[in-house]
Amino acid sequence: MPVTLIVRADGGGAADHELTFDGARVVIGRGSGSDLWLPDPSVSHRHASVRANGSEYVVVDEGSSNGTWVGGVRLQPRTPRTLRTGDMLRVGRVWVEVRVGHGPVALDAASATRDVALALIAGAMQAMGDDVTPRIQVVEGFDVGEELFLTDDEQGYTVGRGEETDLALADPDTSREHIRVTRKGAIVVVCDLGSKNGTWLGERRLPPSRDVPWKSSAMVKIGRTVLALTEPLTVALAQLETMPDEPVAEEDAPPEPPPSMLAPPSAKEPAPASAVPPRSAAGAAAPMVAAPAPAPAPAPIARKKSGWTPTDIGVVVAAILIIALSLAGLAWVLKG
């Protein structure tokens, strides 16, 4: 049975991010090896884990600095707690909503969790006004300092000696259209366009007309020009992974968010009458007294009809006969 973890946005119009797992254990943490990678300094490298336990799932705090919370309850380290659909976990400053038995499992879990981590760090950096756009920079050659920003996803940007290229070089040893660079989601690829003098990625010569992933740790060399790839999000993730845990005071923790719009319909149905009454904004129990049912209308009083009925006549006749017999008996006694 799968379990879906929804990383809840902290407001401001940001979107939630969800991942579905079906493994025996899901590690939540700031480390890049986590199954749910949360790039926040308040989250420990290995903060908590969600584990399958028969037909249920449990959550375990893995000895984190700021603790793992289920709603308003802090868990004891290494002590499992059963999870239910709709439970809210707080790890550091991050809220994660739990849904048991829901959603298709990601085919490439490693790429999926990296995409979520990149989206989370991008949102945080953009909120602070930082530029998160990958860019190419000339670090050696005739055009040192020139830059090309890879603004549009899936857009191919050309580099070469031609004036019509996106990054025009003065290097005579480059071809007019030497390479094409494309950002595809979280990765950047480079393609040699059949250049005369070839293209090197690190120490490797690239085959022509084939997209090859370009990581920022390697340089691209074309002619006498050396190009570096700068990925602000990758740099930020690497820096966050080496930072110490940032303490979070309980009073500084973000409030628990309401259930997500992605919650299953059953989670949104009103509670039965026997359930605990909801709380109002002021904290008092909201009144759940039902409106009194209207009293049943009183039954109409039966009224006797006027006039003599056969029964009435029979009763009167019987009474007269009894009186007559009584008088006859009395007369006989007096004569005797």
pLDDT in tens, 265-275: 444 443 333 33
With 60 as the cut, is the pLDDT of residue 163 above it?
A: yes
Across 128-154, average pLDDT: 96
So what's the pLDDT on residue 17? 92
Burial of 142 (0-12, 13-18, 19+ CB in 10 A): middle
Contact 242, 141 (CB under 8 A): no
What tens digit of pLDDT does each residue of 288-306 get?
223 333 344 444 434 444 4
Q: Give the torsion through C-alpha atoms of 139, 142, 147, 153, to 10 deg.
A: -90
So what's the pLDDT on residue 113? 93
- Residue 257, both tokens: 């968010």
So what's the pLDDT on residue 259? 86
CA distances from 302 to 125, 298, 310 (A): 84, 12, 19
With 60 as the cut, is the pLDDT of residue 38 above it?
A: yes
So what's the pLDDT on residue 15? 80
Which of residues 304 and 319 earns the better pLDDT score?
319
Edge-to-edge strands, sheet with 3-7:
17-21, 3-7, 94-100, 88-91, 68-70, 73-74
Q: What is the CA radius of gyration of the chain?
A: 41
Q: What are the helix and strand counts (H, E) for the chain?
A: 4, 22
% of residues, the chain, pLDDT over 70: 76
Coil, strand or helix: which one is 251? helix
Coil, strand or helix: which one is 250? helix
Reported as a pLDDT band with limits 50, 70 and 90, residue 139 is: very high
So what's the pLDDT on residue 326? 65
Q: How far apart are the first and last CA of the chain?
A: 112
* Reported pTM: 0.70
Residue 22 to residue 50: CA distance in whole angstroms:
11
Going by C-alpha positions, the residue among 55, 11, 48, 52 that lies closest to residue 31 is 48
Q: In the 8-state DSSP scheme, what is residue 246? A: P
Residue 120 to residue 40: CA distance in whole angstroms:
9
What tens digit of pLDDT does each residue of 212-257 get?
999 999 999 999 999 999 999 999 999 999 999 999 998 999 999 9
Q: Which amino acid is at 143?
A: D
With 90 as the cut, is the pLDDT of residue 307 above it?
A: no
Domains, the chain, with CATH or none: 3-128 (2.60.200.20), 135-230 (2.60.200.20)
- The owner of tokens 């250049």 is 195
Contact 193, 158 (CB under 8 A): yes
Across 118-138, average pLDDT: 93
What tens digit of pLDDT does each residue of 84-96 get?
999 999 999 999 9
Alpha helices per DSSP H over the chain: 109-127, 232-242, 265-268, 310-335
Residue 8 to residue 20: CA distance in whole angstroms:
14
Residue 280 CB partners (closer than 8 Å, separation 6+): 286
- Residue 315, both tokens: 């009763």
